[in-house]
Amino acid sequence: MGMASCVQNYLLAILLLATYASSHHQHKKPLHFSLFQHETINKTGYIIVNGIEGGAGITETTTPFGTLFVFQDPLTATANRSSKVIGTAEGTSITSSVDGLQSISIAKLTLRLKHHKGSVSIVGGTNNVKPSDHPVVGGTGDFLFVQGYVTSSPVDLKGLTVVYKIQFHLYWPPYATQASWKS
């Protein structure tokens, strides 16, 4: 083996080692994607505690002040309910405005994406007829240490099943390296 090829092999080994090391301490890249939440009254979402009497009525967009609602809704790839189910939204919301249009929502979104599996927890105010941003408070599995926000926008509020588009904007802090959650 000549001197040149010896040096070449040595450099190759260093390169491989460097690649290995960096792939094991890589910062996780931000993720941006959308899913669609389907909520069917008295099937995937229920009023558990009635709100105050004489307040806003129960419609597709309003519930009386103080209403406690619980849901377990499928999250699909497109607005079509027959499209692939990618996850589940489990949570609760409490009507927090007297006009019945706004609520405080707490939810755990379990996700089965191609390369990311786990859950994202969100909390925040929801406006039933306008897009609402919900801060991400954390996650589990491949979403451990996740930050960011999800935007929930009404797509179809007519009928027994209401549909919301959920846009995810997920970021990881520098300490959430591949190594820290894989090993």
Measured from the CB atom, the residue of 24 and 43 that comes closer to ligand NAG is 43
Give the C-alpha separation, 99 to 91, whole Å: 22
CB atoms within 10 A of CB 28: 21
Measured from the CB atom, the residue of 41 and 123 that comes closer to ligand NAG is 41
SS3 category, 52: coil
The binder of ligand NAG chosen from 41, 68, 98, 144 (CB under 6 A): 41
Give the C-alpha separation, 97 to 8, whole Å: 70
42 touches ligand NAG (CB under 6 A): yes
Measured from the CB atom, the residue of 41 and 104 that comes closer to ligand NAG is 41
Measured from the CB atom, the residue of 75 and 150 that comes closer to ligand NAG is 75
Stretch 71-90 residues interacting with ligand NAG (CB under 6 A): 80, 82
158 touches ligand NAG (CB under 6 A): no
| Tokens of residue 160, six digits | 């027994």
Closest separation in Å from C-beta 80 to ligand NAG: 4
| Tokens of residue 1, six digits | 């083996």
Query: Which residues are paired to 72 by β-bridges?
Result: 90
Give the C-alpha separation, 158 to 161, whole Å: 7
- Residues near ligand NAG, by CB under 6 A: 41-42, 80, 82
